[in-house]
Structures are given as C-alpha cells and as structure tokens.
Amino acid sequence: MNILSFIHKFCFCDNVETPITESLTYPSGVTVYEVVRIIDTKPLFAEDHLVRMLGSLNLTNIYYPIDAGVFRNQIQRLCQINNVTNGNVEYLLVKKADGRVVTYMGFIQHHYPEPQLYIDGVDLAGLHSERDNPQAKVKNTLTRQRANKRIAETGAYEMVLINQQGLVTEGSRSNLFFVKDDSIVTAPDNMVLSGITRKHVLQVIDFNDINIVRQPIRYSRINTFDAAFMCGTSPGVIPIHSIDKVKYQTDNKLVKTIMDGYNQQVTNYLMSH
C-alpha cells in the first residue's frame, strides 16, 4: 500500500467523497497520474491532461473509460468541499493486481515560484537518471526519491535528468529548452514526457516563427548555449539561471517572448472556460 499525499479536508477515493486522514492509502499497482493546476476553480488545460492520461493508459495497457464531465465535476466539488480556489490537483488511476482499476483525486502540496524568480531565474542541478517509458506519466518512485534527495542536498529548484549516454532529456518534473542565437533546442519528443506546458510552449514557438531544433543535448555541452528555460504545471515558463556551474542569460529576448506568449495562452484559456 502507498500513502496518499492529499491535503486539505476531503478527496475522492474511487469516486466517493472521503475525509483525508494520515492513514489514507492506495493499493500497489501500475499507477498513471496527472497533476492539474487549478486557477480560480478552473482546471487549466483540462482537455490536454485527459488526452495525455488516455495515452498513458494505452502505453501501460490499462483500460479505463475516463469521463471528462465527471473529471470536471469532481474538481469543482473538491474546490467546494475544501473551500479552495487555487492549487494543484492530482488524479491517479491504479491498476491493482486483480486487474481492477481504482481512482483517486485530491489537492496536493504545490510550490509556485516567487515572482522575482521569473526575473532572476532558477538554479538546477544534474542527476543521472531516466524514465523507462518517458511518454507514459506513471509513478516512478525511485527517480522521484532520488530527485527529492538531490534537491534537498543542493538547494536546486529542479533536477536535470541525464541518461546513460550523457544526454540531457528533461527535468524530474519539467521540460527543458536551450537557446543558441535565434534558435531553440530541446530533446526529441520520444525522449521526454509530453508535457502539457511544453505543448503550449511549442505552439508559442511556432506562432512566433522561432526556429526550433529537436535533438539530444549532451550534458558536457550545456555551456555552449546562451540561455535556457524550463516549463511545468506549477512554474509555467521560467528562465534558468544556472545548471550546476554553468550560468545563463536570464533576460534573453527569445525566453521573454516565449514566457509572454505562454502567459497569454493561459489567460485566453481561462477566459474561454
């Protein structure tokens, strides 16, 4: 059994409103999950999260008919019964040993960057680790534990995952982009989790006709780039100040364009839902 890390007073356990206690657990098994940012009770990019979850279920051979209406209604109910309007909600689907799929949904701890970090940038550190199936969003306890340990040791905001070939793939809970002159470089789609924020960043890059190169980045060459940024559910898009001892420009024009474009996409989505 695994401890649920939900916060506040109530969550959903297999679609039933349930009081949160310290002993609340979920069974062992293949666990597919999504973390959705809630802004003024609205689940940001909800449709994208559900599409990715269906893809993760397909990649892990789990069949479960996700109902978008039930998903949205449960989030609205979570906000109501917990008297919460902003935060992060985790949605888990667990395939038990007997083949049955059970679901869990609740608010989890979130860490949004201080406003100044969007100007100064965040500090990252390298971690030699990789996901077995990067395109499926499944619980990877060992990688998460190792990343959390390194974050605590280094004080870094996030870990940069480096695979066995010495290539930078993604962050432990984010996607990474590097800037060289007028081009953006990022790992190929098949090497990383298809991040929801990443999807919208790529749309901004395309809309602004910015050249993008999808190729592996060798960790030993991260010092050849002018700037870098990361993106994820909690931070949105944020510049990188450093990776280990390598420092980057945090006032880069391309990074600023992408940050502004992504923020506008968020605003447009919330206004239309």
Q: What is the mean pLDDT of residues 119-143?
A: 81
Quick check: 75 and 49 in contact, CB under 8 A? no
pLDDT band at 124 (very low <50, low <70, confident <90, very high): very high
Q: Give the model confidence (pLDDT) of 170-206 as tens digits.
A: 999 999 999 999 999 999 998 998 899 999 999 999 9
Q: Is the dihedral of CA 142, 146, 151, 153 positive or negative?
A: positive
Quick check: 105 and 12 in contact, CB under 8 A? yes
pLDDT at 135 (0 to 100): 64
pLDDT at 145 (0 to 100): 81
pLDDT surpassing 80 at residue 41: yes
Cα 233 to Cα 58: distance, rounded to the nearest angstrom: 22
pLDDT at 133 (0 to 100): 67
C-beta atoms surrounding 140 within 10 Å: 19
Cα 95 to Cα 98: distance, rounded to the nearest angstrom: 8
Distances in whole angstroms, Cα of residue 238 to Cα of each of 84, 118, 129, 158, 224: 25, 5, 23, 12, 20
Higher pLDDT: 59 or 266? It is: 266
Mean pLDDT of the chain: 93
Q: Give the model confidence (pLDDT) of 51-105 as tens digits.
A: 999 999 998 999 999 999 999 999 999 999 999 999 999 999 999 999 999 999 9
Q: What is the mean pLDDT of residues 211-239?
A: 97
pLDDT band at 1 (very low <50, low <70, confident <90, very high): confident
Q: Is the dihedral of CA 52, 156, 141, 73 positive or negative?
A: negative
pLDDT at 93 (0 to 100): 95
Q: What percent of the chain has pLDDT over 90?
A: 81
pTM of the model: 0.92
Cα 167 to Cα 1: distance, rounded to the nearest angstrom: 35
Q: What DSSP letter does each residue of the chain carry, written as one string?
A: -EE--B-SSEEEETTEEEE--TT-EE-SSEEEEEEEEEETTEETTHHHHHHHHHHHHHHTT------HHHHHHHHHHHHHHHT--SEEEEEEEEE-TTS-EEEEEEEE---PPPTTHHHH-EEEEEEE---SSTTS-B--HHHHHHHHHHHHHH--SEEEEE-TTSEEEEESSSEEEEEETTEEEE--GGGS---HHHHHHHHHHHHTT-EEEE--EEGGGGGG-SEEEEEETTTEEEEEEEETTEE-BSS-HHHHHHHHHHHHHHHHHHHT-
pLDDT at 136 (0 to 100): 64
pLDDT at 130 (0 to 100): 78
Sheet holding 87-95: strands in order across?
A: 16-19, 10-13, 101-108, 87-95, 30-39, 42-43
Residue type, 54: L
Least confident of 32-36, 55-59, 133-137, 212-216: 133-137
- Gap between the terminal Cα atoms of the chain: 37
Strand pairing partners for 131?
Answer: none
Q: What is the mean pLDDT of residues 113-137?
A: 87
Q: What is the mean pLDDT of residues 119-139?
A: 83
pLDDT at 32 (0 to 100): 93
